[in-house]
Chains A and B, each alone.
Chain A
Amino acid sequence: MKHKIRFTINGEVKEIEVQPNKTLLKMLREDLDLIGVKEGCGAGECGACTVLVNNKPVNSCLMLAVEVDGKEILTIEGLSDGINLDPLQESFLKHNAIQCGYCTPGMVMSAKALLNRNSHPKEEDVKEALAGNLCRCTGYKRIVDAVLDAVKKGGGK
């Protein structure tokens, strides 16, 4: 039996019917075509599927779609209009904090959540906020540099 849920996704109100056992990750990728949300493990280990729900970072592979009823979701697709990038995205580009890019959407969203709650994070705060995001191309240094530079440029506001 499907459940009707209503939520805001990247600023837009949506109403859809989902199976009760469908994960948020599956709904985003398969029903809403938000393919920027990545699956690395499907088990809460890698952070590639990170999105913001009511401004908090979640592993969308571990959350059921029905749980977002009445909530607000932000994915990598909603972070910019594609032309004017978020300062975090600009900073990732500038610092070459991207190799294969598979971890990138999750990394950026975790960093975004950090800046939402702390506009002047220290290096240690950045590392802690990204601790649940794995990068197997091992670009952690550049990723941390990118976030700190975005903070310096006022990305944290």
Chain B
Amino acid sequence: MMAEGVKKMTKRYVGKNIFKVDAREKVTGNAIYTEDIYFDNMLYLKIKRATHPHAYLRRIDISKAQKLPGVVKIITAADIPKVKNFGLIIKDQPVLIGIGQKMRYMGDALAIVIAESKEAASQAIGLIEVEVEKLEAISDPLRAIEKDAPLIHQDGNILDTYYLKKGDIKKGFAQADLIVENEYRTSFLDQVPLQVEAGVGIFDQETEIIKLWVATQWLHDTQADIAQSLGLPKEKIRIIQPVIGGAFGKKEDISVHIYLALAAMETKRPVKLTYTREESMIAQSKRHPFIIRMKTGVTRKGYLTACQVEVIVDTGAYASSGPAVVHKGLYHCTGPYNVGNVKGVAHIVYTNNTYCGAMRGFGATQMAFAYESQMDIITHRLRIDPVQFRLQNAYSIGSSTPNSQILTLGVGVKETIKLAADIAGWKE
């Protein structure tokens, strides 16, 4: 039965040149992306952001901004006492920072300006006066875990610690003829989808449904998160995803959504918010930088015996998908290579940097930099062929990963290595 189905599908699609359904609209400039949506009577939003990466908000004065012609309303935390924090895994991110509360990175929002034009909204942002009490801004996760570092969140700067154990690490290193130990660091990376964060919102007074057209990735999770933050049933939030101009993980987090919902409910008019590229860089997620201390044991004949890893990950000011990213990174600490004895620990740490979230590879890419560097250093020290060395250690069907998952299907790493070596002309 199943084979039949597969065969049918093969004939229809596999090996054929299939046109993308929306390619024609895209190539003629007719595809409608979020920022292409206009409504009559539409208002424009702009967000007043933190003035310091780690500080208490002591005073916010919107009186001058409010008097500017074209400004319709400015929402601050005082207007929304019931609105709750949001976040993909942990609800640790506030919608607006209130008096006496702390801003934790430069992207934290202090006020939502609603105006008749983008220009008026932008000008009003500059007229909002803010007084803060500055705290030490922590940009290094190694500083964040020191005993005397100020706490970014109440429960401490280490958000969580994960462990990994397989086999007997001591035995593994005892079997090794060579042990290589190094520290690797990866950097922040912005996903830079060509389209920035953008959204349009409407509040339907009859049904009391908030309709949001947003450049966004996880519609159902986001709908649930907005609903819990605003204290509304999920059915009252409708998210529509127009054609999207790339995301690569950056649009998994909430960006413009809640600001639009609040402004639409407040004004009962269509509202629009498009970030600038600079704002997108400051306010939305990044790829997590990892500090990886890796110790690898190998026999003289080039067989891996042990891998011990300690990872410190900067998740920035908020958790976002950090816990899942770090788990995945840890599980990939040996790469696609068989290692019988593994021990790992990973700390995910808050700092005052822009928060980190999802980006293509989701933690696996950072780890690859460490283990592949280790592989090269080992082959250099043992004077063995790096391709042969990788092939003799590579996963095959039946291999077990560092978290003891047995691979039963689709293990293509050996073919991939062979093909890559061929194409690169390795033998020559």
Given A46-B194, A98-B26; A93-B245 close (CB under 8 Å):
no
Q: Does A40 reach chain B (CB closer than 8 Å)? A: yes
Q: Does A156 reach chain B (CB closer than 8 Å)? A: no
Chain B residues in 8 Å Cβ range of A43: 277
Q: A98 near B36 (CB under 8 angstroms)? A: no
Interface string of A54-97 (1 = CB under 8 A from B): 00000000000000000000011101101001000100111010
Chain B residues in 8 Å Cβ range of A108: 27
Distance, CA A135 to CA B194, complexed state (A): 7
- Interface residues in A17-76 (C-beta closer than 8 Å to B): 34-43, 46, 48, 75-76
Main secondary structure of the interface of B (DSSP, over half): loop
Distance, CA A102 to CA B251, complexed state (A): 15
Q: A75 near B29 (CB under 8 angstroms)? A: yes
Q: A98 near B23 (CB under 8 angstroms)? A: yes
Minimal beta-carbon separation of A111 from chain B (angstroms): 12
Q: Does B187 reach chain A (CB closer than 8 Å)? A: no
Size of the chain B interface, CB-CB below 8 angstroms: 30
Q: A100 near B195 (CB under 8 angstroms)? A: yes
Minimal beta-carbon separation of B150 from chain A (angstroms): 36
Q: Which residue from chain B places its CB closest to the CB of A135 in the assembled complex?
A: B194
Distance, CA A108 to CA B24, complexed state (A): 13
Q: B193 near A104 (CB under 8 angstroms)? A: no
Q: A36 near B28 (CB under 8 angstroms)? A: yes
Given A40-B277, A137-B246; A98-B194 close (CB under 8 Å):
no
Minimal beta-carbon separation of A82 from chain B (angstroms): 6
Q: Which residue from chain A places its CB closest to the CB of B280 in the assembled complex?
A: A41
Of B14-22, B79-87, B96-104, B232-240, which stretch is located at the interface? B14-22
Distance, CA A93 to CA B25, complexed state (A): 10
Q: Does B192 reach chain A (CB closer than 8 Å)? A: yes
Minimal beta-carbon separation of B263 from chain A (angstroms): 20
Chain A residues in 8 Å Cβ range of B245: 38, 40, 100-102
Size of the chain A interface, CB-CB below 8 angstroms: 37
Distance, CA A105 to CA B194, complexed state (A): 12
Contact pick for A35, options B20, B32, B196, B246, CB 8 Å: B32
Q: A76 near B28 (CB under 8 angstroms)? A: yes
Q: A82 near B28 (CB under 8 angstroms)? A: yes
Contact pick for A136, options B19, B20, B33, B194, CB 8 Å: B194
Give chain A's interface residues, CB within 8 Å of chain B.
34-43, 46, 48, 75-77, 79-80, 82, 85, 89, 92-94, 96, 98-105, 108, 134-137
Give chain B's interface residues, CB within 8 Å of chain A.
17, 19-20, 22-33, 35-36, 191-196, 243-246, 248, 276-277
Query: Can you give 27 contacting A-B residue pairs, CB < 8 Å?
Result: A35-B29, A36-B29, A38-B245, A39-B35, A40-B194, A40-B196, A46-B194, A77-B30, A80-B28, A82-B28, A92-B23, A93-B24, A93-B27, A96-B20, A98-B20, A98-B26, A98-B27, A100-B193, A100-B194, A100-B245, A101-B23, A101-B31, A102-B245, A104-B26, A108-B27, A136-B192, A136-B248
